């Protein structure tokens, strides 16, 4: 078992890796608990949940709305939760984002913790204090910054995860390695079989290294003023590709990382060898590195991204493998370079 502490403005978040889900009541200090989960996760793992009231929501982005939060508030009210209660989200990123938001806003904030059950939520969504829901088609438009009191990663829960979901998580692990940890990249190259078969010690190691990159960045910039944008590597194009091509998040980010690695190469920050190494790694994990993209619709979607400031896009460039920096790039420049970024090298 390993742990990491994230020091946020509103308190400390304890991230416990390799602890069983049965430790949840201890982490909630014996307080009254309400669990929020989704039907899938409950079906697979409900028998290991703590004995308490369980609120089940549906699955998919369509559930990540204020309507769902409204229903959760109603249940909180009927359960008579107060500030001495604890809300625990057990599920993927959608459950964690909604549970964190509902807990942060009910009675101006109940204490909450997460048991992330997807690899993506273990290495990304459950950590960092962003909670929220979608609104009128915009992702994560309504939300709060508020750290969970704990994040418990029980790697046994990943055994039931569909392969496509494992890949989504691995894309984020590879992203963390590329922006901040060369050694993690070597580990990913060396331990592919153990990782794909979800061997628990190896998964603990990659989740730990991955979270160290994220926690280090978040603790320096909790509210995304600058440094935190680094976590968006691969996502400038990735989000646009996800929207326009209907690929999964991990697949779209994988292609986005290759394009943004090429952008870094065009600025003299990466070598051709580095770009090949990144592509090989993504392929080894079954992630795509190219697609037949329509320049106009992708650039249009990049331009509509809410992270844009005027005509400038905050691009994350790799400064060698394992390091990154943020640069403002004009949308026009991205449009002109588009074909080169998509080119096979
Ligand atoms: N707050 C943040 O900082 C942050 C960061 C990254 C992503 N996110 C959000 O996270 C969400 C995506 O999270 P996700 O990829 O975990 O998706 P998800 O929550 O939709 O989970 C994916 C699917 O796997 C199922 N599932 C979960 N755990 C399982 C298990 N152990 N066994 C079998 N099935 C299981 C779920 O029911 C769901 O159908 C997005 O809404 C995204 O915006 C938030
Ligand atoms: Zn992502």
User: Of 130, 160, 190, which residue sits at a domain end?
Assistant: 160
Q: Are residues 10 and 150 in the same domain?
A: yes
Q: Are residues 276 and 204 in the same domain?
A: yes
**Which of 92, 126, 142, 157 best tests ligand 1's pocket when mutated (most atoms within 8 Å of CB)?**
92
User: Under 8 Å CB-to-CB from 263, ≥6 apart: which residues?
Assistant: 315, 317, 329, 334, 337, 341
Q: Which residue blocks in the chain are alpha helix, DSSP H? A: 24-27, 39-45, 66-78, 93-105, 119-120, 163-180, 182-190, 192-196, 200-220, 235-245, 249-266, 272-284, 295-304, 331-342
Residue 114's DSSP bridge partners are 89, 151
CATH of residue 22: 3.40.50.1970
- Determine which one of 108, 163, 306, 344 is catalytic: 108
Instruction: For Cα atoms 215, 320, 259, give the angle at the middle one, nearest 5 degrees.
Output: 90
* pLDDT per residue of the chain (345 residues) written in tens, 0 to 9: 899 999 988 889 999 999 999 999 999 999 999 999 999 999 999 999 999 999 999 999 999 999 999 999 999 999 999 999 999 999 999 999 999 999 999 999 999 999 999 999 999 999 999 999 999 989 999 999 999 999 999 999 999 999 999 999 999 999 999 999 999 999 999 999 999 999 999 999 999 999 999 999 999 988 887 899 999 999 999 999 999 998 999 999 999 999 999 999 999 999 999 999 999 999 999 999 999 999 999 999 999 875 555 678 999 999 999 999 999 999 999 999 999 999 755
Q: Are residues 271 and 126 in the same domain?
A: no
Nearest alpha carbon to residue 313 among 232, 259, 227: 232
Nearest alpha carbon to residue 14 among 22, 31, 24, 93: 24
Q: What is the pTM of this model?
A: 0.97
Q: Are residues 156 and 191 in the same domain?
A: no
**Which of 121, 229, 233 best tests ligand 1's pocket when mutated (most atoms within 8 Å of CB)?**
121
Nearest alpha carbon to residue 111 among 100, 125, 119: 100
Q: Is 130 labeled as catalytic in the residue annotation?
A: yes
User: Of 107, 130, 160, which residue sits at a domain end?
Assistant: 160
Q: What is the pLDDT of residues 241-259, one digit of tens each?
A: 999 998 999 999 999 999 9
Q: Are residues 114 and 181 in the same domain?
A: no
Nearest ligand 1 atom to alpha carbon 61? 41
pLDDT of residue 72: 98
- Name the residue with the closest Cα to ligand 1, atom 18: 92
| Cα–Cα dist 314/330, whole Å | 9
**Distance from first CA to last CA of the chain, Å, rounded?**
42
Q: Residues enclosing ligand 1, CB less than 6 A?
A: 38, 40-41, 44, 59, 61, 64, 91-95, 97, 117-118, 120-121, 124-125, 128, 130, 139-140, 157-158, 160-161, 165, 168
Q: Are residues 199 and 96 in the same domain?
A: no
pLDDT of residue 344: 59
Q: Are residues 282 and 176 in the same domain?
A: yes
Nearest alpha carbon to residue 95 among 128, 123, 61: 61
Q: Are residues 16 and 87 in the same domain?
A: yes
CATH of residue 329: 1.20.1090.10
Instruction: For Cα atoms 314, 226, 131, give the angle at the middle one, nearest 5 degrees.
Output: 100
Q: Are residues 103 and 84 in the same domain?
A: yes
Backbone angles phi, psi at 30, to 5 degrees: 75, 5
| Contact assessment for residue 238 and residue 178, using Cβ atoms and an 8 Å cutoff | no
3-state secondary structure of 31: coil
Q: Are residues 120 and 225 in the same domain?
A: no
Q: Are residues 154 and 171 in the same domain?
A: no
Q: What is the pLDDT of residues 60-96, one digit of tens each?
A: 999 999 999 999 999 999 999 999 999 999 999 999 9
* Residue 320, token pair as written in the block: 């060698």
Q: The domain containing residue 130 runs over which residues?
A: 2-160
Residue entry with tokens 């949840």: 24
Question: How many structural domains is the chain composed of?
Answer: 2
Q: Are residues 198 and 154 in the same domain?
A: no
Q: Is 51 labeled as catalytic in the residue annotation?
A: no
User: Of 160, 184, 219, which residue sits at a domain end?
Assistant: 160
Q: Is 314 labeled as catalytic in the residue annotation?
A: no
pLDDT of residue 288: 97
Query: Would you list the DSSP string of 185-203?
Result: HHHHHH-HHHHHTT-HHHH
């Amino acid at each position: 078992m390993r742990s990491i502490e994230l020091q946020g403005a509103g308190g400390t978040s304890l991230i416990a890796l390799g602890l069983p889900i049965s430790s949840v009541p201890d982490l909630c200090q014996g307080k009254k608990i309400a669990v929020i989960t989704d039907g899938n996760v409950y079906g697979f793992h409900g028998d290991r949940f703590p004995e308490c009231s369980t609120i089940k929501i549906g699955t998919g982005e369509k559930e990540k709305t204020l309507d769902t939060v409204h229903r959760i508030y109603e249940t909180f009210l009927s359960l008579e939760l107060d500030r001495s209660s604890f809300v625990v989200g057990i599920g993927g990123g959608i459950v964690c984002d909604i549970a964190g938001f509902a807990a942060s806003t009910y009675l101006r904030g109940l204490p909450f913790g997460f048991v992330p059950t997807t690899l993506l939520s273990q290495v990304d969504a459950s950590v960092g204090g962003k909670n929220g829901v979608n609104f009128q088609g915009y992702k994560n438009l309504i939300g709060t910054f508020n750290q969970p009191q704990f994040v418990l990663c029980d790697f046994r829960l990943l055994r039931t995860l569909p392969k496509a979901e494992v890949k989504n998580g691995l894309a984020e692990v590879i992203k963390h390695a590329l922006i901040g940890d060369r050694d993690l990249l070597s580990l990913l190259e060396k331990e592919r079989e153990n990782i794909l078969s979800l061997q628990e010690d190896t998964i603990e190691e990659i989740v730990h290294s991955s979270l160290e990159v994220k926690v280090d960045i978040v603790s320096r910039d909790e509210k995304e003023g600058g440094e935190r944008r680094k976590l968006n590597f691969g996502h400038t194009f990735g989000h646009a590709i996800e929207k326009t091509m209907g690929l999964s998040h991990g697949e779209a980010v994988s292609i986005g990382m290759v394009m943004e690695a090429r952008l870094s190469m065009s600025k003299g920050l990466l070598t051709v060898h580095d770009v090949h190494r990144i592509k090989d790694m993504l392929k080894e994990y079954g992630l795509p590195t190219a697609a037949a993209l329509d320049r106009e619709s992708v650039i249009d979607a990049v331009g509509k991204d809410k992270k844009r400031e005027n005509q400038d896009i905050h691009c994350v460039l790799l400064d060698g493998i394992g390091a990154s920096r943020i640069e403002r790039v004009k949308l026009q420049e991205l449009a002109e370079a588009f074909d080169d970024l998509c080119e096979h090298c």
